Amino acid sequence: MFIDSHCHLDLPPLAEELPSVLQRAAAAGVSGFICPGVAPAGWQAIAATAASNEAIHPAFGIHPLQVDEGSAFFLEQLATCLAGATAVGEIGLDYCHGKENRLLQQLLFRKQLQLARKLSLPVIIHCRKAFADTLAIFGAESQGQLRGVMHAFSGSAETACEAIRLGLLIGVAGPITWEEAVKPAQMLKAVPLEKIVLETDAPDLSPQQHRNMSNEPAFIREIAGKVAELKGISVEQVARVTSLNAKRLFNV
């Protein structure tokens, strides 16, 4: 059985056909879902989605590209939502599309890490072209107490090892299956299976066989298959170990 450690079941088109999405996921062996939030406007929908099915576990956070919503008011709302959450996220830094507000992103990231530490919750970290700052800030704010995952990790093997040293797991998503995926494959070979969780990031980042389609949790089998191929192990072992990693991280 698999756990999809990052999927946006509250977003279209998944939300509109959620019963069918969950049915296909169950048929593919997916038994649990972590559903992270990216902005205050979506938190209520995530809470409702999670309340509808005990296999769906909510997380709440303010995405770096939503930094304008990082006011004290929304941070207070976030603290309230997190009372029933499994993680703080999706949070982090994005220098690919947010070059003009890096300092604001960093401040918001720090505040949410501090909240996670106060509540003893793991974090789900979004990072694009900001690995040095992301890991430096995480290390400073963690004080050795925080755990989490680097969502849809796109960095080098060396960066992955540094993230693991700081207490983070590596989220492996659809890009590992893409035909042009050279660096992700090199990274995966260097990272122990015990430090990996699988995710789809549905409805985005569809694996190779479904790249012209909306992504969904049922496609996690293709990701697991590629991990098994690169590691030289069985898909069953990938499913067992990565699901156990997710259960331990998110306490589900």
Task: Give the pTM.
Answer: 0.96
Is the pLDDT at 18 greater than 90, yes or no?
yes
Two structure tokens written together for 196: 């990996």
Q: What is the mean pLDDT of the chain?
A: 96
Is the pLDDT at 212 greater than 90, yes or no?
no
How sure is the predictor about 100, in pLDDT bands with cuts at 50, 70 and 90?
Answer: confident
Residues paired with 226 in a beta bridge:
none
Task: Give the pLDDT score at 61.
Answer: 97
What would the pLDDT profile of 115-149 be if each residue is shown by its tens digit? 999 999 999 999 999 999 999 999 999 999 999 99
Task: Give the pLDDT score at 181.
Answer: 84
Is the bond leading into 13 cis (omega within 30 degrees of zero)?
Answer: yes
How sure is the predictor about 169, in pLDDT bands with cuts at 50, 70 and 90?
Answer: very high
φ, ψ dihedrals at 62, nearest 5°: -115, 115
Is the pLDDT at 246 greater than 70, yes or no?
yes
Query: Which of these, 46, 33, 55, lies nearest to 78 by C-alpha position?
Result: 46
How sure is the predictor about 17, in pLDDT bands with cuts at 50, 70 and 90?
Answer: very high
Domains and CATH numbers, the chain: 2-250 (3.20.20.140)
* DSSP-derived secondary structure letter, 71: S
Angle at 109 between CA 170 and CA 161, to 5 degrees: 25
Residue 139 backbone class (left: φ over 0; alpha: ψ -120 to 50; beta: rest): alpha
Two structure tokens written together for 3: 């756990």
How sure is the predictor about 194, in pLDDT bands with cuts at 50, 70 and 90?
Answer: very high
- 120: buried, middle or exposed (CB in 10 Å: 19+, 13-18, 0-12)? exposed
What would the pLDDT profile of 36-94 be if each residue is shown by its tens digit? 999 999 999 999 999 999 999 999 999 999 998 888 999 999 999 999 899 999 999 99
Is the pLDDT at 252 greater than 80, yes or no?
yes
